[in-house]
Amino acid sequence: MDKAIIIGAFEFIGFNLTKHLLDEGIEVDGIHTDTENEGFFVNGKRLEIGRNANFKEIEFEDWMRSKDVSEHQTVTVISLYDYFINHRESLLFSDHGLCDKLQKILSYHARTVLLLPAQYYFQKGFTDFEKTAGSDLSTLLKEEDPALLKIYLPTVYGPWQSPASLFQQCFLKELDPAYSIPENDHREWTDDAIYVDAVVETIGILINQTIAGSFLLANEETGHWHKCAELLGIDNAIDRNIQTKKLHDKNDIEVQKVKMSITAREGIKKQKEHLENSLLFEND
């Protein structure tokens, strides 16, 4: 891989993956979708990577209009996980054009990677746009093209986590008692959690292996989400659980075990310290 195109480069997973690939010396075109609402600390993210000569920011609409065809050494990564968590799938699918463009990219045998919430594997979570592009996305998820890699993710936490995620909401509540945590959000995956650095490193390895198929990333340590929740004092009564199906008797997906180099306590501490520093920067 010489170059990556990352759709959602200023979202949580997309941004951390962008940084990881830039650190590896890979050229990255970062596709930014949210032009009116700059999102969560986008200015801070721009400062982190904007001066890197290997990074170029491109508006989503401009990329959609482009007729350029991806070369074989270019990987296109779509961080659908981030848009799902933020309830913003419509930013990608409102014009019904993204799935068609991805199919065209695949027709040229160009490497394409979908980063997906675990819920999508069970055909859940399409309700917000099922009358528009949900069926197109469902069809894409069933695609078995040899150039297509699908990576399903549980809860991912760490610096830049979305404020739609419960861990980040707990930190925001601690820093500002007036902040109100939503009563429930069924997009929170409570079966598993992995720190973001381990996630993007594993994604990078899978991309470079030039394999196709479907993978579910899973923490080697079971019950990690609940361990983090306990550290944060999250009440088990909070209704965040997704009704999930277990992976027994499934032969169409490979579970990729991920080993973290830090503990849950260290990961939670790093995320909180990063949020505090980011808030100071934004308010400066």
What is the model's pLDDT at position 135?
60
The number of folded domains in the chain is 1
Q: Rounded to whole angstroms, how far apart are CA atoms 113 and 171?
A: 31
The Cα 237–Cα 246 span in angstroms is: 22
Q: Does any domain span residue 163?
A: no
Establish how many alpha carbons lie within 13 A of residue 25's alpha carbon, considering only the half-sphere containing its beta carbon: 0
Residue 202 lies in a domain: yes
Q: Is residue 272 part of a domain?
A: no
Domain annotation covers residue 55: yes
CA–CA separation, 197 vs 266, rounded Å?
Answer: 12
Q: Please list the residues that pair with 4 across neighbouring strands.
A: 28, 75
Q: Is residue 21 part of a domain?
A: yes
**pLDDT-derived band of residue 3, with 50, 70 and 90 as boundaries?**
very high
For residue 93, being part of any structural domain is answered with yes
pLDDT per position as a tens digit, 63-87: 988 877 666 678 999 999 999 998 8
d(CA 153, CA 140): 17
pLDDT score of 252: 77
Whether 186 contacts 44, CB under 8 Å: no
Average pLDDT for 74-101: 84
Q: Is 237 part of a structural domain of the chain?
A: no
CATH code, domain carrying 86: 3.40.50.720
Phi and psi at residue 271, to the nearest 5°? -65, -45
What distance in Å separates the CA atoms of residue 228 and residue 1, rounded to the nearest whole number? 35
Do residues 161 and 12 lie in contact, with contact meaning Cβ atoms separated by under 8 Å? Answer: yes
HSE of 56, CA atoms in CB hemisphere, 13 A: 10
* pLDDT value, residue 97: 81
Q: Residue 22 sits in which domain range?
A: 3-158+193-221+249-260
Report the range of poorest mean pLDDT among 146-150, 170-174, 276-280. 276-280
The mean predicted confidence, pLDDT, of the chain is: 84
Instruction: Give a yes or no: residue 54 inside a domain.
Output: yes
Query: For residue 25, what are its two tokens?
Result: 């010396």
Report pTM: 0.90
Q: What is the model's pLDDT at position 40? A: 66
Most confident of 49-53, 58-62, 156-160, 234-238: 156-160
pLDDT tens digits along 185-206: 778 888 899 999 999 999 999 9
If we measure between CA atoms, which residue out of 99, 77, 108, 93 comes closest to residue 143?
A: 99
Task: Annotate the chain with three-state secondary structure.
Answer: CCEEEEECCCCHHHHHHHHHHHHCCCEEEEEECCCCCCCCCHHHHHHHHCCCCCEEEEEHHHHHHCCCCCCCCEEEEEEHHHHHHCCCCHHHHCCCCHHHHHHHHHHCCCCEEEEEEHHHHCCCCCCCCCCCCHHHHHHHHCCCCCCEEEEEECEEECCCCCCCCHHHHHHHHHHCCCCCCCCECCCCCCCCEEEHHHHHHHHHHHHHCCCCEEEEEEECCCCHHHHHHHHCCCCCCCECCCCCCCCCCCCCCEEEEECCCCCHHHHHHHHHHHHHHHHHHHHC
pLDDT value at residue 39: 61
